[in-house]
Amino acid sequence: MAKKVVPEEARRRRRPTRNGTVLSEKLIVDTALRMLREHGSDGLTVRRLGVALGADPSTLYRYFAGLDDLTRAIGEELMGRALDAWRATGDWQADLRALGRAVHASYLAHPQAAVLTASRVTGRPREIAADETILGILRAAGFPDPVAVRTYHAFIDLTLAFAALDAGALTLTDRARETDEEMWNSTYARLPAATHPHIAATAHLLADRMNRSAYPLVLDTLLASAAAQLDRT
């Protein structure tokens, strides 16, 4: 059974750790992000986190109900960083485009964490603030509520799906990633037109595009479709 999380005011009275730092949710999340970057998801354990923090591993349970709770906090941090880096302009398409790219970039800055958290719903304040912002942009632009919710759904799922997909490539070893990227030249570009006429005709274009994320293109397609729908309503 998960231990009861200690209220914030009680945590502040704790003494510094062996490293001389005072624990906080943010410090634990930042340390977990570093551990994920250095060791991957398998390297994030309560014991290792305690060692990295210079604290008894059980200290984690004063702040989080367990590793799953910490995982949601990591996801919220990535979403919050994206929101912090974004500024509204009043142009709904420009604002959603910029926010989507900010979320995508925030997750790709921590690919191991992105793979771990992109599919999670945290229910935490910063994630809620991001959702409120997206819905507010759509409703202020004049989208009827059912259309606003449908567009929000497509927008956030598209963004997080590409974040997980593109982050997954970044978690590969350099050699594995280079092998995958070279496949468009080493294999696809050499397929004969007699058996694969369409690939052969477009091989040079595929090699140029396929190692780049399609997220900006697909995001623009979604926004164009939403704009056309808004015009009709």
Mean pLDDT of the region 171-196: 95
| 61-70, 76-85, 126-135, 157-166: the lowest-pLDDT one | 61-70
- Quickly state the pLDDT bin for 41 (edges 50, 70, 90): confident
Name the burial class of residue 143, with classes exposed (0-12), middle (13-18) and buried (19+) by CB atoms within 10 angstroms of its CB: buried
d(CA 82, CA 160) in angstroms, rounded, equals: 12
Both tokens assigned to 182: 């070279």
Instruction: Please say whether the beta carbons of 93 and 220 come within 8 A.
Output: no
Name the burial class of residue 78, with classes exposed (0-12), middle (13-18) and buried (19+) by CB atoms within 10 angstroms of its CB: buried
d(CA 100, CA 86) in angstroms, rounded, equals: 9
Mean pLDDT of the region 212-232: 97
Q: For the segment 23-37, what is each residue's pLDDT rounded down to a tens digit?
A: 899 999 999 999 999
Q: What is the pLDDT of residue 14?
A: 58
Give the residue from 192, 189, 156, 169 showing the smallest Cα distance to 75.
156
Q: What is the pLDDT of residue 43?
A: 85
d(CA 26, CA 32) in angstroms, rounded, equals: 10
d(CA 68, CA 47) in angstroms, rounded, equals: 15
Q: Which domains does the chain have, with CATH numbers?
A: 8-65 (1.10.10.60), 88-232 (1.10.357.10)
- Quickly state the pLDDT bin for 10 (edges 50, 70, 90): low
185 has a pLDDT exceeding 80: yes
pTM attached to this predicted model: 0.87
| 48-57, 90-99, 120-129, 173-182: the lowest-pLDDT one | 48-57
Q: For the segment 136-152, what is each residue's pLDDT rounded down to a tens digit?
A: 999 999 999 999 999 99
Portion of the chain with pLDDT greater than 90, in percent: 83
Eight-state DSSP code of residue 190: G
Q: What is the pLDDT of residue 13?
A: 39
115 has a pLDDT exceeding 90: yes
Q: What is the pLDDT of residue 8?
A: 53
